[in-house]
Chains A and B, each alone.
Chain A
Amino acid sequence: MTVMSKIEPPVLAVRDLSISYGPLQAVRGVSFSIAPGEAMGLIGESGSGKSSVAYAVMRYIKGQASGEVHVAGQDVMALSEQALGKLRGRTAAMVYQDPMSALNPAIKVGEQIAEAIRLHGRIGKALAWKRGVALLERVHLPRPAEIAHRYPHQLSGGQQQRVVIAMALACDPQLLIMDEPTTGLDVTTEAVILDLVNELRRETGVAVLFISHNMGVVAQVCDRVGVLYAGQLIEEGTTEQVLRQPRHPYTVALMRAMPAIDGPRRRLAAIPGRLPDLRSPPPGCIFTPRCAMATAECESRMPDLANSSGGGHRSRCHYRDEVALRLPPEPLVAEVQLVEARQERPRLQIIAVSKQFRARPALPFMRGPAPVRAVDDVTLDIPPGRTLAVVGESGSGKSTLARCVAGLIVPEDGAIRLENEVLDPLVQKRGRAAQQAVQFVFQNPDAALNPHWTVAEIVGRPMRLYGGQGEGKALRHRIIEQLEAVKLGERYLDLYPREMSGGEKQRVSIARAFAGRPRLVICDEPTSALDISVQAAILNELLALQRENGTSYLFISHDLGVVRHVAHEVAIMRHGRIVESGPPAAVFGDPREEYTRNLIAAIPTLERREAAPALLTA
């Protein structure tokens, strides 16, 4: 093992860890260790068991765990409750996804940090508070003495995450466990937080267990990477080894599914199939059903996590040294056929649209706070069969703009024009034909699908509403046709949303949007709630549907990599205004605006960035 070569004992040693939730075997036989000062990343999609492993290190899991976890030499599984309380927060500390909910809304942030110091340090209240303020300064919060007196809701997302990090550092832990610490943050904020983590590592020598689904993020922070799939560690090695020369077909597939901002445009390769049933995992290699190079041996015998020919690079594949040879080559660029530009009148015109949000004044007769210009004089258009992507960080007004186009929000100013017709600002007042022409795919399919309706009802409803597609048998036939267009089949007809995976639900949303044969589909972050492998499939489906139907897309996203792959035209939005627009190759290749440059520079790629661009604010 890697650790054996080092002299110091590991900070974290996990041996043969298995976790089950009832009949579900979420984690099986995971072993790895982290040396002092080392940062190890665990990559995995949802259901991989990566969070279960992270919380098992703190012995904070609901399920049944077996195996060994040693933190700084202490056997975590065998500790008394009291000893566990001393380990948590002092020897090992955690940083969480979604800092807003991880911080107590009713306690001042300074007190939340000071409490950790007092608990483990036996020092007075005043001194603990002072040290808390010093920690806030340590994580580069401006005016730390003042921020200490604030409540979490009075801070931005980036500031909240810095408070969580300060709290984790309160007792100089030897191990920092970070569970998706930047997921949900804006890309510029993410870059700043990652820089902070790197700086803290250099200066305090704290070891890090870094959980993430984003390979670019992991590449920024980690020395070594482990890849989890369906509860097993399937590959492990240095970051360079795993991300540059992956030795497991799953890792390769993940890399091919990841949309990147740089490099040539290529077809995103989705991983076919889905996770195996973890209630009865197959006897052979767990990736066999989805693997492009599986053989009979893979099906019958489970490979060990063994060293490949390169030193210290372990892979759980029988053909670990031949992966690159055996896998089919990456699909060629030519497969993404962009619909040729036709000089026609635009399908959709957004003409000088403005929308303000006004907060309610304290009293009816008083003046309220100044209104927020969510969308500020935006003019854009989309040709038939083309995609316009509006990109921006949270609060940029991109979703408000989408809602104005959909008629869900009425703008104060401007007009929305669909081909020859100026649309009424309110969707209820638009005619049936205009309603049919503009459809919507939302970010969260769970919230967008009626849980009490079957797939047949959900997809059939717009067909019946807009008519002309038959009744009874004919309608049923059309529904099946529509489902097949999004790679779902007849067997989904009578399923309810809760019986499907996230990706399947989003396919149903897309089938519903296309059921009425729309001319424009507004996609508001359609893949940001999905795993990378599923995201690739959904994006490919959207591209295929566009080719077949000549549909125009208004594509809202914060993810520049995704936009690079789907858009014909990109508009960068900030504070309600369009700062820059053009074809993606031009905007991303040679950005004119400083803001666009910063945005692009902040994207975590596989290349390790030295320090975040100076102008970033979080």
Chain B
Amino acid sequence: MQALGFILRRVLLLVVVLFAVSVLTFAIVNVLPGDVATAVLGDMATPDQVLAVRKTLGLDQPLAERYLRWLLGVLQGDFGRSLQHGQPIGPILMGRLGNSAILGLITLAIAAPLAVALGVMAALKPGGVLDRVIGGIAVGAYALPEYVIGLFGILAFSIWWPVLPGSSLMDPNENPLARPEALILPIGVLITGMLAFISQVTRASMIQVMGSAYIRTAVLKGVPRWRVVMKHAMPNLLPPTIAEIGMYFGYVIGGLVVVETLFSYAGLGQLVTNAVSYRDVPVIQAVVLIVAAAYGIGNLLADVAALLMNPRLRS
């Protein structure tokens, strides 16, 4: 009952957050200097041409009215038309979203369990060789931005030792799973960043769990070490760690923007980068809203999972 209430409250909160996000993005993109008309027409456009384009795009309307119209459309599933391409945004968005989701979900599926495993191993002997190796690599990987790791990956695996394509260059409608080799480097970069962070967070919580009185109880009950870790420590380690991974979700999305641009991968990140340089306001808004929703839902799912795994919060 408490749990159900918690989830409902969080869903309501998410709706409020998304509304606030849409208002803010709308406000921000509309106070940016320059507009789509000049961007589409180029430097040589006359003021009359610009005015005409603005009129056809509806940019001469007041801001609030434009926002309300946009909001009504979104509530009916219509994100409007791209100013840059003139096509409806919905279908473009769906394809790109799918591509990004493939990248992000594969990253999470590999990195989350791996990071937890590394963190646990490091925590079993704090200060030991394994801990220092994992910790050292993690700090290094965390300190380097994705594009540095990405460029280094391209250098190593597609130039010095050319086994992988250095760019995913693909048609937005192409299924990325058809060419798995093109996914390896981008996913590798994303995983590296995530492993670094999550493994160290896991290590810290695991050290705390292993130092707790109930672990002492288990040991003095004669429980073998592996069973202490798997049956007594894990159920207490996972809820906070999963919530932590949920928080990290936003970082994965941010990483996607960099990685997709770097590897020319046709996902949301690449879409929004282009949209920003073209002042393609409807696209920017749609992408930001989708990303915020994904972030919020990811976080919510993680919290709900953590909640359901914790008997103290469940009842």
Chain A residues positioned under 8 Å from B236 (CB to CB): 104-106
Question: Which of these, B5, B223, B224, B309, contacts A362 with CB under 8 Å?
Answer: B5
Interface of B is mostly: helix
A474 within 8 A of B: no
B179 within 8 A of A: no
Contact A115 B223 (CB under 8 A): yes
Known: A107-B235, A362-B2. A86 touches B222 (CB 8 A): yes
Minimal beta-carbon separation of B42 from chain A (angstroms)? 54
Q: How far is the CA of A102 from the CA of B212 in the complex (A)?
A: 8
Mark interface residues in B213-239 (1 if CB within 8 Å of A CB, else 0): 110111111111000000110011000
- Give the contact stretch, choosing among A88-96, A140-148, A182-190, A292-300: A88-96
Chain B residues positioned under 8 Å from A89 (CB to CB): 220-223
Mark interface residues in A41-78 (1 if CB within 8 Å of B CB, else 0): 00000000000000000101000000000000000000
Q: How far is the CA of A87 from the CA of B2 in the complex (A)?
A: 43
Question: Which of these, B5, B212, B223, contacts A363 with CB under 8 Å?
Answer: B5
A97 to B, closest residue via Cβ: B213
B178 within 8 A of A: no
Mark interface residues in B1-34 (1 if CB within 8 Å of A CB, else 0): 1101110110000000000000000000000000
Contact A85 B224 (CB under 8 A): yes
Chain A residues positioned under 8 Å from B312 (CB to CB): 105, 151, 153
Question: Which of these, B4, B214, B315, contacts A101 with CB under 8 Å?
Answer: B214
B58 within 8 A of A: no
A410 within 8 A of B: no
Minimal beta-carbon separation of A21 from chain B (angstroms)? 16
Mark interface residues in A599-613 (1 if CB within 8 Å of B CB, else 0): 000000000000000
A325 within 8 A of B: no
Contact B311 A106 (CB under 8 A): yes
Chain A residues positioned under 8 Å from B219 (CB to CB): 60, 88
A366 within 8 A of B: yes
B232 to A, closest residue via Cβ: A104
Mark interface residues in B279-315 (1 if CB within 8 Å of A CB, else 0): 0000000000000000000000000000001111001
For window 110-165 of A, CB contacts with B under 8 Å fall at 115-116, 119-120, 151, 153-154, 164
Known: A85-B222, A107-B235. A98 touches B311 (CB 8 A): no
Contact-residue size bin, chain B (C-beta under 8 Å from the other chain) = 20 to 34
Question: Which of these, A87, A103, A361, A362, contacts B214 with CB under 8 Å?
Answer: A103
A14 within 8 A of B: no
B8 to A, closest residue via Cβ: A363
Contact A93 B213 (CB under 8 A): no
Contact A96 B217 (CB under 8 A): yes
Q: How far is the CA of A60 from the CA of B310 in the complex (A)?
A: 29
Question: Which of these, B9, B220, B232, contacts A58 with CB under 8 Å?
Answer: B220
Q: How far is the CA of A362 from the CA of B212 in the complex (A)?
A: 31
Contact B220 A60 (CB under 8 A): yes
A539 within 8 A of B: no
Contact B5 A106 (CB under 8 A): no
A100 to B, closest residue via Cβ: B213
Minimal beta-carbon separation of B308 from chain A (angstroms)? 12
Minimal beta-carbon separation of A359 from chain B (angstroms)? 9
Chain B residues positioned under 8 Å from A119 (CB to CB): 221-223
Chain B residues positioned under 8 Å from A164 (CB to CB): 217
Question: What are 23 A-to-B residue pairs whose CB atoms are below 8 Å?
Answer: A60-B219, A85-B223, A85-B224, A87-B222, A88-B219, A88-B221, A89-B222, A89-B223, A90-B222, A93-B220, A94-B220, A96-B216, A102-B216, A104-B214, A104-B236, A105-B312, A106-B235, A107-B235, A167-B221, A362-B6, A363-B5, A364-B9, A366-B5
Q: Give A contacts to B, CB under 8 Å.
A: 58, 60, 85-90, 93-94, 96, 98, 101-107, 115-116, 119-120, 151, 153-154, 164, 167, 361-364, 366
A-B pairs with the 4 shortest C-beta distances? A362-B5, A89-B222, A106-B235, A89-B221
Please name 20 further chain A to chain B contacts, defined as beta carbons within 8 Å, in addition to the given A87-B222, A103-B214, A107-B231, sorted by A numbering: A60-B219, A60-B220, A85-B222, A86-B222, A88-B220, A93-B221, A96-B213, A96-B216, A96-B217, A98-B213, A102-B217, A103-B217, A104-B232, A104-B235, A105-B311, A106-B236, A115-B221, A119-B223, A151-B315, A362-B2
